[in-house]
Amino acid sequence: MAMCTVYTAHSLNSSCSISTPTKTQLGFHQKQVFFYSTVKKTSRRGSSNSSEITCSAESKTVVIGLAADSGCGKSTFMRRLTSVFGGAAEPPKGGNPDSNTLISDMTTVICLDDYHSLDRTGRKEKGVTALDPKANNFDLMYEQVKALKEGIAVEKPIYNHVTGLLDPPELIKPPKILVIEGLHPMFDPRVRELLDFSIYLDISNEVKFAWKIQRDMAERGHSLESIKASIEARKPDFDAYIDPQKQYADAVIEVLPTQLIPDDNEGKVLRVRLIMKEGVKFFSPVYLFDEGSTISWIPCGRKLTCSYPGIKFFYGPETYYGHEVSVLEMDGQFDRLDELIYVESHLSNLSTKFYGEVTQQMLKHADFPGSNNGTGLFQTIIGLKIRDLFEQIVASKAAAPLEATKA
Amino acid sequence: RLRIQAMATTPERISEKVVESIKTAEEVCAGDPVSGECAAAWDTVEELSSAASHERQKNKESDPLETYCKDNPETDECRTYDN
C-alpha cells in the first residue's frame, strides 16, 4: 500500500514550498508535499501531479465524537478507549505543557475547549458560560475537523484551563482515529455530519452532585454550598445547549442512582444504561441472551458471588427520541472483577478478538473509577465497538478501489 | 462540617485560583443570582476545579520507584531484562 503524507498548515504568510524527495519503498514512490497557504485547500486539487491526492484519500481519518459535561468522566472513558487500541496516550512532546491533546499510535484526542472563541475574561465581560454556543467558534471547529478527516494537518489553538487564555496554536497531524471530546461535538450540524460515531455520557443530576462532592470537597475553598451553587448556575445553559445533543448520539451511557437500594443518594451504587441506536452503519448493538427480546437477569447465585445489594441486568428494545434503540442495563456492582467473565460469556456481539477480552481490559485498569460497576463495563464495550467500526471502515475503503478496477 | 483529607495535593497555582474564583462567584451572585455574570462566574469555578482534579490525578500516578528508575535505569533495583 502506498503511504503518503500531505500536511497543510494554515499560516499567515502565503509562501508555497513544494519539496518532493522521491524514494522507493516497497516498489512505490513516496512523496512528501508541503503546502503553506492562507486560502483553505485550494492547491490540493490544482496540482498537476495527481498521485499524492489519490493516496491521501486512502488513509482517511475516522472521527469519533464524545459529549459530556465537565467532571462526568470523559477522561476516564478516553483512557479506556485508547487502551483498547494499545499504547499509552500522552500529551504532545515538547509542546505547551498545558496542551489538552492526547496522542497515541492510533488515536489523537482533542479537547473542544480549544475552540473557545472567548477566553475567560471575554466570557466574564459578556456574561456567558463556556456552555453557550456564543463562546465557541464552530466555523473553525468544522474547518479543522474536516481538514483532519481529509488527511491535512492543522494548527489548532490551545485553550489553557489554568490561565483561562487562548495560547499559541499547536500542530495536529491527521491520525488514524480522531476523537473530539467536549461539550459540543454534536451541536453544529456540519461537525455532526463529519462524525463516524458519536457518544453521549448522560449523568443524572443526583449522580453528578455526588461525583462533584467526591472530586471537590478535598479542594481548598469548596463547600457543599459552593458545589451546589456551581451546578445550579450552569444548569440552564446545560439544559439548553448540551443535553439536547444526546438525541444525535449513536450510543448514550446513562448513569442513574440505583433502584436496588430504596432512597439511595450516595451515588456509589449505580444503575447504568447503554442505549445503542439501531441501523447505524458498521455498528451492531450488544445483546443479552436473545436479540430483540426483553430480559431481566439476576446473575447472582451459585456461579457468581454478590454481596448486598447484588447485580441486576436488563435488556430490551425501546424508543429514544423517536429512534429505535436497544438498551442494556446494569444495576449494582461487582465484588470480584474476575467474575465478570461470567457476565461477559452471556453477552453477544461484543466485537472482542478473543473470549474474555472485556474482562481482561477491565482488569488491566482495575484502579480506574467505575471499574466495579456498569460505567466501566459499558465504556469498555463501546471501546471495542469503536475498534470494530474502525476496522470495518478501513476494510470497506480498501475494497472500494478494488471494485473500481474490476469494473 | 464535613472535611475530607486530600489524597494528593493540587499545585499551588491552581489551588489559589479555585479559592479566588469561589470568592468572586459568591460576590457576583450576591447582587443578582440569576444573571449571566453569575453563571459565568460559577462556570469559571467549575473549569478550575476540573483542572485541579486533572492535575491531582496526574500527580497521584507517580510511583516513587518508577520515577527513580526513569532517571537511573542501570541501577540494581531498576534493571530489567526481557530475557
pLDDT in tens, B61-80: 678 888 889 889 999 999 88
The C-alpha atoms of residue A120 and residue A130 are separated, in whole angstroms, by 9
pLDDT tens for the 407 residues of chain A, in order: 445 555 544 444 444 444 444 443 443 444 444 444 444 444 444 444 434 443 444 568 999 999 988 766 677 888 888 888 877 888 888 888 888 888 888 899 999 999 999 998 998 888 889 999 999 999 999 999 999 999 899 999 999 988 889 999 999 999 999 999 999 999 999 999 999 999 999 999 888 888 888 888 877 777 788 888 888 888 999 999 999 999 999 999 999 998 888 877 677 789 999 999 999 889 999 999 999 899 999 887 777 777 778 889 999 999 999 999 999 999 988 887 767 888 898 999 999 999 989 998 888 888 888 888 889 999 999 999 999 999 999 888 877 766 666 55
- Given this model, what pLDDT does residue A305 score? 74
Per-residue confidence (pLDDT) for residue A317, from 0 to 100:
93
pLDDT at A265: 66
**Residues of chain B positioned with their CB less than 8 A from the CB of A71:** 46, 49-50, 53
Q: What is the pLDDT of residue A79?
A: 86
In order of their start, the domains of chain A are 57-200 (3.40.50.300), 250-393 (no CATH)
Write the residue in A120, A221, A237 that is nearest to B22 by C-beta.
Answer: A221
- List the grid coordinates of A21: 524527495
Per-position DSSP letters for B11-57, written without gaps between them: PHHHHHHHHHHHHHHHHHHHH-TTSHHHHHHHHHHHHHHHHHHHHHH
ipTM over 0.90: no
A-chain CB neighbours of B52 within 8 Å are 219
Residue type for A286, please? V
Residue A110 to residue A170: CA distance in whole angstroms: 11
Q: Do B42 and A220 touch (CB under 8 A)?
A: no
Which residues of chain A lie closer than 8 angstroms to B27, CB-CB?
A: none
- Considering CB atoms only, which of B36, B45, B51 is closest to A128? B36
A71 in contact with B at a CB cutoff of 8 Å? yes
DSSP assignment of A17-80: ------EEETTEEE-EEEEE-SSTT-HHHH-S--HHHHHHHHTPPEEEEEE--TTSSHHHHHHH
Written as one letter, the residue type at A63 is V
| Distance in Å, alpha carbon of A150 to nearest chain B alpha carbon | 32
- HEC profile of A125-159: HHCCCCCCHHHECHHHHHHHHHHHHCCCCEEEEEE
- Residue pair A172/A108 in contact (Cβ under 8 Å)? The answer is yes
pLDDT digits (tens, 9 = 90+) for B14-68: 888 888 888 888 888 887 767 788 888 888 888 888 888 888 877 776 788 888 8
CB contact burial A110-139 (16+ within 10 A = b; e otherwise): bbbbbbbbbbbebbbeeebbbbbbebbbbe
Among candidates B2, B7, B52 on the partner chain, residue whose Cβ is nearest the Cβ of A224:
B2
* Cβ atoms within 10 Å of B24's Cβ, excluding its own: 15
Q: Identify whether the C-beta of residue A330 lies closer than 8 Å to the C-beta of residue A377.
A: yes
The residue of A102, A118, A129, A131 whose CB has the most chain B CBs within 10 angstroms, and thus the best one to mutate to test that interface, is A129
pTM greater than the 0.90 cutoff: no
